[in-house]
C-alpha cells in the first residue's frame, strides 16, 4: 500500500504522546533550544512525488545524517580501498562518540557513521578538495533540488565551542597515523556538514538516490554506482543507528540514518526515501518518536528489507 497524507497524519497523531519521554540533545547547546514538540514526516517516491505531514517543511539540524553525504562525496573522489583501509564496515555496538574501541583497534574506526569514522571521511575530503564546505553545499542543494539549503552557523559554532570529545577522537587517530590534515580545520568542516539545516522534504528528496540505485532525483546520471548504492544501504542497515541499529532493524526493517537533531532518514530500495523529525532522543541518540513513526509506517504499508 502507498502512504497517503491521511495515513502520515494518523501516524503522527499516534506517536505524538511519546513527546516528553525522550531528551533533546543538549551537549550541543544550540540544539537544546529547539522546541521538543516539533514533528514532521515526508516520503519521496522515486518518481519525485512527495507525501508529507506535520512540520515537514521546517528546517532542522541534520547532524549525523550528513555522514552519509560525506561518505557519498568521498566515494566519488577515492578508490574503495583508499577509504576502507582507513575505516571499517562493522557495527560498533558503542555510542556514536565513544573512544573505547578506537585505541584498542589502532585508530581505525569501526564504520563511517560513528563520529570517529565520519572524521576520517572528513579528513579524506579535506585532502582532496580545495573547498570541501562549498562542494558539500553544492552537492546537497543539487540532490534536494533546493538552492536555499545552508549551514546553520550558530549550531556549527556552538559545536565548535564544545568540541573536546571530537577533537580528542581526531587527535587519537592522528597519533596512530590515521589522520592526514590538521585537526581543527577538518573539525570545523565536519561541524558545518552536521549543521546543514534541512527539512524532512529536503531530506527525503536528497536521499532518493539511495532508493533509486544511485540515481538522484531528476538526474540523468547516477552519483554512485548501483553497487556502491547497495553497499551504502548495507552499511546504513548495520551501522546507521549506532548501538540502536539492531533495535531499528527489528522494529523498522529499513536502512536508516539518524542525527542528534532528531531527524531519521530511511530507505525502501527501489521505491522511496522517507524522512522524519522529532527532536527528543532515546538513550542511543536516535529520535524516539521518529523511530516509532517509521515503525508504524513500515507496518502499515507492509515494507521491510527483511
What residues are labeled active site? 64, 67, 190, 242, 260
- Write b or e for each residue in 123-141: b if 16 or more Cβ atoms lie within 10 A of its Cβ, otherwise e: bbbbeebeebeebbbebbb
* 291 near ligand DON, rule: CB under 6 A: no
Stretch that binds ligand DON, among 174-182, 228-236, 258-266, 291-299 (CB under 6 A): 258-266
Tell me, rounded to whole angstroms, the distance of Cα 159 from its chain centroid. Answer: 17
- Phi and psi angles of residue 108, each rounded to the nearest 5 degrees, phi first: -100, 110
Instruction: Give the 3-state secondary structure of residue 153.
Output: helix
When the beta carbons of 115 and 212 are compared against ligand DON, the nearer one is: 115
* 109 near ligand DON, rule: CB under 6 A: no
**From candidates 259, 269, 279, 290, binder to ligand DON by CB under 6 A:** 259
* 194 near ligand DON, rule: CB under 6 A: yes
Q: How far apart are CA 258 and CA 290, in angstroms?
A: 9
Stretch that binds ligand DON, among 1-9, 35-43, 68-76, 255-263 (CB under 6 A): 255-263
Stretch that binds ligand DON, among 35-43, 103-111, 144-152, 253-261 (CB under 6 A): 253-261
When the beta carbons of 46 and 258 are compared against ligand DON, the nearer one is: 258
| Residues in binding contact with ligand DON, number by CB under 6 A | 13
Gyration radius from the chain CA atoms? 18
**From candidates 72, 92, 115, 158, binder to ligand DON by CB under 6 A:** 115
Cell (9 digits) for 166: 571530537
Alpha-helix runs per DSSP H in the chain = 5-15, 66-77, 80-84, 100-104, 115-128, 132-144, 153-160, 164-175, 183-194, 200-206, 208-211, 226-239, 245-251, 288-301
* 63 near ligand DON, rule: CB under 6 A: yes
- The DSSP string of 178-189 is ---S-HHHHHHH
**190 known ligand binder:** yes
Give which of 238, 215, 193 is closest to 44, Cα–Cα: 215
In the annotated binding site for substrate, the residues are 64, 115, 159, 166, 190, 242, 260
In the annotated binding site, the residues are 64, 115, 159, 166, 190, 242, 260
Q: Which residues bind ligand DON (CB under 6 A)?
A: 63-64, 96-97, 115, 159, 166, 194, 258-260, 285-286
Amino acid at each position: 500500500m502507498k502512504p497517503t497524507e491521511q495515513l502520515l497524519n494518523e501516524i503522527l497523531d499516534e506517536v505524538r504522546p511519546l513527546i516528553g519521554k525522550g531528551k533533546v540533545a543538549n551537549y550541543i547547546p544550540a540544539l537544546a533550544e529547539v522546541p521538543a514538540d516539533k514533528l514532521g514526516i515526508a516520503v519521496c517516491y522515486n518518481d519525485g512525488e512527495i507525501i508529507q505531514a506535520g512540520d515537514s517543511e521546517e528546517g532542522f539540524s541534520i547532524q549525523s545524517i550528513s555522514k552519509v553525504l560525506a561518505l557519498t562525496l568521498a566515494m566519488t573522489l577515492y578508490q574503495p580501498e583508499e577509504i576502507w583501509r582507513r575505516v571499517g564496515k562493522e557495527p560498533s555496538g558503542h555510542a556514536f562518540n565513544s573512544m573505547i574501541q578506537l585505541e584498542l583497534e589502532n585508530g581505525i574506526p569501526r564504520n563511517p557513521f560513528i563520529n570517529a569514522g565520519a572524521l576520517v571521511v572528513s579528513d579524506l575530503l579535506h585532502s582532496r578538495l580545495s573547498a570541501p564546505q562549498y562542494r558539500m553545499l553544492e552537492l546537497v542543494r543539487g540532490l534536494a533540488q533546493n538552492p536555499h539549503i545552508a549551514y546553520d552557523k550558530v549550531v556549527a559554532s556552538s559545536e565548535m565551542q564544545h568540541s573536546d570529545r571530537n577533537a580528542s577522537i581526531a587527535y587519537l587517530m592522528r597519533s596512530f597515523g590515521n589522520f592526514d590534515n590538521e585537526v581543527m580545520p577538518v573539525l570545523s568542516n565536519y561541524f558545518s556538514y552536521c549543521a546543514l539545516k534541512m527539512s524532512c522534504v529536503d531530506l527525503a528528496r536528497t536521499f532518493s538516490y539511495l532508493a533509486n540505485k544511485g540515481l538522484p532525483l531528476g538526474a540523468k546520471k547516477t552519483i554512485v554506482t548501483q553497487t556502491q548504492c547497495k553497499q551504502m544501504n548495507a552499511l546504513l542497515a548495520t551501522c546507521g543507528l549506532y548501538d540502536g541499529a539492531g533495535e531499528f532493524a527489528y522494529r523498522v526493517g529499513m536502512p536508516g540514518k539518524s542525527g542528534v537533531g532528531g531527524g531519521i532518514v530511511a530507505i525502501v530500495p527501489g521505491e522511496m526515501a522517507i524522512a522524519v523529525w522529532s527532536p527528543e532522543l532515546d538513550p542511543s541518540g536516535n529520535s524516539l518518536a521518529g523511530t516509532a513513526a517509521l515503525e508504524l509506517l513500515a507496518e502499515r504499508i507492509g515494507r521491510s528489507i527483511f
